Chains A and B, each alone.
Chain A
Amino acid sequence: MDFGLNEEQQMLQDTVARLVRGEYSFEKRLAYSETEAGFSVDFWKQLSELGLTSVPFSEELGGFGGGGVEVQSVMTELGRGLCLEPYLQSVVFGGGLISQAGNDSQKDVWLSGIASGELRAAVALQEPQSFYDLNDVQTHAEKKDGGFVLNGRKAVVIGGHCADLIVVSARTSGGTRDTNGISLFVLKPDTAGIERRVYPTIDGSKGCDITLNNVHVGADALLGEEGSASEVIDYQAGRAIAALCAEAVGVMEVANELTLDYLKQRKQFGVPIGKFQVLQHRMVDMMSELEQARSMAILAASVADEEQSDERRRALSAAKNVIGRSGQFISEQGIQSHGGIGMTWEYNFAHYAKRLIMINHQLGDDDFHLERYAFLLQAS
């Protein structure tokens, strides 16, 4: 058994780490967050020039041929830098959906652009009523003139404000929350009838809600087989969950490093506050939570490429549940250990804390995955 990275994986992780260290100081990150894109277009370019946007794609598509572990290496380092670039949305999730469900011509046009970093994708699967259930789809697509007409509303599309492609789920048959009848479409955001309400997110990124009002698309916008997208979504959401877990571990690592430094340096009552046992024990708890999270991120990365099964689903839900809980623990206890300083915008800890809480709101929080895990237990 070997939990270490191989030489190639280590090199990959070191490359991203160096890039993030060099380009992503906290001050720069705050500035990137305030731009219209909400991230650094220049940093995105550097990622793509180093081939990092092609990591999960097969070599025949011009990719690196990486799997869950390679994505984990990249995402952990992006997490450490609190990077705002839509790597998860575009490369992992959007690219994943197209590579699994797309036909040759779709892969040729879209995937090569995503792999090279020239195109950025976003993923619009949630709806106002769907909570975290990606089968809860009310948006519908009707056949017309050899193509489709889409109507509905998609919720909280991170990165959707400046994406070149948006992968949207819509119902071509079946009732709300049915597994069957969901289809995927790739939309260009400037298509007539698409309206975006753009907003900043509380963790420094940007997103939008998308209204689809009689959006006409050709048959070539349909991604994969009509009505059977649920499986593709379920599988690729699992890969995205694994990637999010890896990002969370990177965020937690830095959060804990910052807290530990603070305990050693901040003095009260004439001694560093790290001399107080209550704070020592809390720091130990935070480290233990991180170790648990790290273990689950490794599990998630290693099942990410396996064939779909209830076992894979359970592992991913377990991972996301642990990450959600440990992230909230480290966020809250880290703020508490810092005292007022941990509450301030100027100090980076608060931004790590916010990202950890918001990771819990992406692709299902710890309650959602606990229920899903329990449901899968009953089903098995």
Chain B
Amino acid sequence: MNINYTPEELAFRDDVRAFLDQALPADISAKVKGFRHLTKEDHQRWQQILCKQGWYATHWPEEYGGVKWTPVQKHIWDEESCQYGVPRSVPFGVNMVAPVIIKFGNEKQKQTYLPRILSGEDWWCQGYSEPGAGSDLASLKARAVREGDHYIVNGQKTWTTLGQHANMIFCLVRTNTEVKAQEGISFLLIDMNTPGITVRPIITLDGEHEVNEVFFQDVKVPVENRVGEEDKGWTYAKFLLTYERTGLAGIGLSKAALSHLKQLASRCIKNGRPLIEDTSFSQRIARVEIDLTAATISNLRIIAAVEGGGMPGAESSMLKVKGTEIRQAINDLARRAIGPYAIPFAEEELNLDYEGEFLSDENAAPLSAQYFNNRKLSIFGGSNEIQKNIVSKMILGL
């Protein structure tokens, strides 16, 4: 047994660090590290830099413009990029729809969409969830009725992350109501500019606009925009979900958040001393750090298994549960660290150009909002309850 990186992996890590030192724009990194919001332009600017380096499409085969990284290399990239404050890539195009198109799409779809994802010309969003179909995805109701060489789509999607920026949406729609719920679903690629599509913001509890509802009224979608066979979309959707689940544990993000928390606790004052010297608070930090260490090793065990040719199964569900709980615990501590200053919402301080005096710590302003916003971690991507169901079925046979 050897749980350390090989010399080659260490060399790769040096390459990653050298690249990030040189290429990551300071303003973008500052926003990420300070939990400020990124604009569409920030994302796009960083995507261009990554593409130029050839490191954008890490899940793609090389022939389509991807980069051939081992699971360990991907892990190293994830850890380093979180520490450096790299913007989290918006996964819907590059990491979600693209692998589906590569595996199940036809040649024309590959030639049309893949280059546009790499170039940033298309911004994709995901049309899976519906108001009545959240965890029970197969009960979705959005209908697509075939009329000649078109489908007519009617229905509603919800929780569409960053859909306000998107010009393309990939959707699960019901094309057959006569068969079992999972068997009558198709996978459509829809241009958001088609008449009949309305995007309505959903404002979350922290006042942010991150998710949307998307309404479809008699939307005409060419049949050639269907991926794979009619009524077989569930297979493609499940394939995509395996991509979604990898990384949901957010170990790298937790590590970055933890070092942020420690810095914060060194600056905050309690009883005239830095909070980090307070026994009960430092024990709380120690406990979450220990839990994170365990989750990190668990994550590496999964990665090593995948590298050895295995498929991540129920282990990644367990890791999603633990990982999200850990990240939420870190957010909780960061909010507690600023004491009464968790109450004000000094929005002006979220602006990187803010030049006034800070109410308390320079990074205090987003902490409460972030705590509330990250309650979503245990809900989305298959809620933690659903993950536990998966584990009890797959591993325990219950």
Residue-by-residue, is B127-148 near A (CB-CB < 8 Å gives 1, otherwise 0)? 0010010111001000000000
Query: Do A344 and B202 have beta carbons less than 8 Å apart?
Result: yes
What residue of chain B has the Cβ atom nearest to residue A282's Cβ? B385
Looking at A107-115, A131-139, A287-295, the stretch in contact with chain B turns out to be A131-139
Residues of A within 8 A of B305 (CB): none
Q: Would A344 and B385 count as touching, CB distance under 8 A?
A: no
Q: Does A10 lie at the interface of the complex (its beta carbon under 8 Å from any beta carbon of B)?
A: no
Contacts A269-B136, A344-B202 given; does A131 touch B271 at CB 8 Å: yes
Q: Which of A133, A267, A335, A361 is close to B342, meaning CB atoms less than 8 Å apart?
A: A361
A290 to chain B minimum Cβ distance, whole angstroms, is 20
Bound: A37/B376 CA distance, A? 32
Chain B residues positioned under 8 Å from A132 (CB to CB): 339-340
Nearest CB in chain A: distance from B275 CB, A: 8
Indicate which residue in A197, A279, A358 contacts B343 across the interface (CB closer than 8 Å): A358
Q: Pick the contact of B272 from A136, A279, A335, A343 — CB < 8 Å?
A: A136
Question: Does A58 count as interface, using CB distance less than 8 angstroms?
Answer: no
Q: What chain A residues lie within 8 Å of B136 (beta carbons)? A: 268-270
A343 touches B271 (CB 8 A): no
**A200 and B345 in contact, given A131-B270, A177-B271 (Cβ under 8 angstroms):** yes
- What are the residues of chain A within 8 A of B206 when measuring CB–CB? 202
Cβ distance A330 to chain B, nearest Cβ, rounded Å = 13
Min CB distance B309 to A, Å, is 34
Q: Is the CB of A343 within 8 A of B375?
A: yes
- Across the interface, B344 reaches (CB within 8 A) one of A176, A199, A278, A353, namely A199
Closest to B138 in A: A269
A141 to chain B, nearest CB (A): 21
B339 to A353, Cβ gap below 8 A?
Answer: no
Given known pairs A156-B344, A367-B280, the reply for A361 and B339 (CB within 8 Å) is: yes
Q: A346 near B203 (CB under 8 angstroms)?
A: yes
B372 within 8 A of A: yes
Q: How far is the CB of B144 from chain A (nearest CB, A)?
A: 23
- Give bound CA distance, A362 to B345, whole Å: 15
Q: With A268-B136, A340-B379 in contact, do A131 and B342 touch (Cβ < 8 Å)?
A: no
A336 to B135, CA, bound (A): 12
Within 8 A of A (CB), among B325-361: 335-336, 339-347, 359-360
CA of A131 to CA of B277 in the docked complex: distance in angstroms? 14
B84 at the interface (CB under 8 A from A): no
Across-interface contacts of A177 in B (CB, < 8 A): 271-272
- Given A340-B159, A343-B376, A345-B205, also A203-B339 (CB < 8 A): no
For the complex of A and B, 10 pairs with smallest distance between CB atoms: A350-B205, A345-B203, A268-B136, A156-B340, A131-B270, A202-B345, A361-B342, A199-B344, A131-B339, A202-B368
The contact sample of 11 A-B pairs, CB cut-off 8 A, is A126-B340, A199-B344, A200-B347, A201-B343, A202-B343, A209-B359, A336-B375, A343-B375, A343-B379, A350-B372, A367-B280
